[in-house]
Amino acid sequence: MFFQWVSLDRPGVEVLVMDGSNNAEHKLICQMMAKTTAIVHHRPQETLNLPALWNEGVRLATHGRILISGADFLYSPDFFTEAEKVWTPKRLVMCMTHELPNIGITERMARDWLWNWPRIKVFFAANPKLANGIQYATKELFTEIPFDERLEKLGGMDNLQAYKCERGGYEPFWWEQKNVLHQWHPISRMKFDKQFNDNMKVISDYVKNGD
């Protein structure tokens, strides 16, 4: 539902769903979406981590510009129009996001405002946070500087990509805007802290040694 308000029938737009789960229900949902909307569903044969899934998606993409996104974000109707204003061929646009509130979503709430952008955008009053992996750039950039597959999960991934792009002659641009909301969900703090620490070791080694 992350493109609920964004028109998918505009020229040159394709939505490629990279399904890395082993969950049969997830597979069914993606297949159903692909039959009714402008979505291409791809499920790799082998189990891939998140950066590997993104790299596979870049390889499969048929257009020159790519938006990398998770499934738990909501985009404004004019997201692409606004993104084009800050994008350049040599720029990696890192999209800052805002959090939806930590509350249980009832069926009535979903019906009344979850699908209503003018209402839901009031939550942009919250502080922005990190880009959460939302990146907008050319296919050429993502091909030349692929995501580091040593990072198993999120946690500093945007920072490493920014470092690599800068060294590769591109400009990392942290875009603060009011076009993207992140849907709150519970996480295991202990598990996240461990993966973040593991990722930071990879990032630290890259900053020091360049690899």
Q: What residue segments make up the domains of the chain, in order of their start?
A: 15-209
Reading the chain (211 residues) residue by residue, the pLDDT tens digits are: 455 556 555 556 677 777 777 677 777 777 776 665 666 777 777 777 888 888 988 998 888 899 998 877 878 888 888 999 999 999 999 998 887 766 655 556 655 655 677 777 666 665 566 666 789 999 999 999 999 988 876 777 888 899 999 999 999 999 988 788 877 666 666 666 777 788 888 888 888 887 7
Q: Domain 15-209 has what CATH class?
A: alpha beta
Kindly list the distances between the CA atom of residue 22 and the CA atoms of 16, 46, 47, 129, 178, in Å, as whole numbers in the listed order: 18, 10, 8, 29, 34
What pTM was estimated for this model as a whole?
A: 0.80
Q: Are 133 and 175 contacting, i.e. CB atoms less than 8 angstroms apart? A: no
Q: Letter for the amino acid at 132? A: N
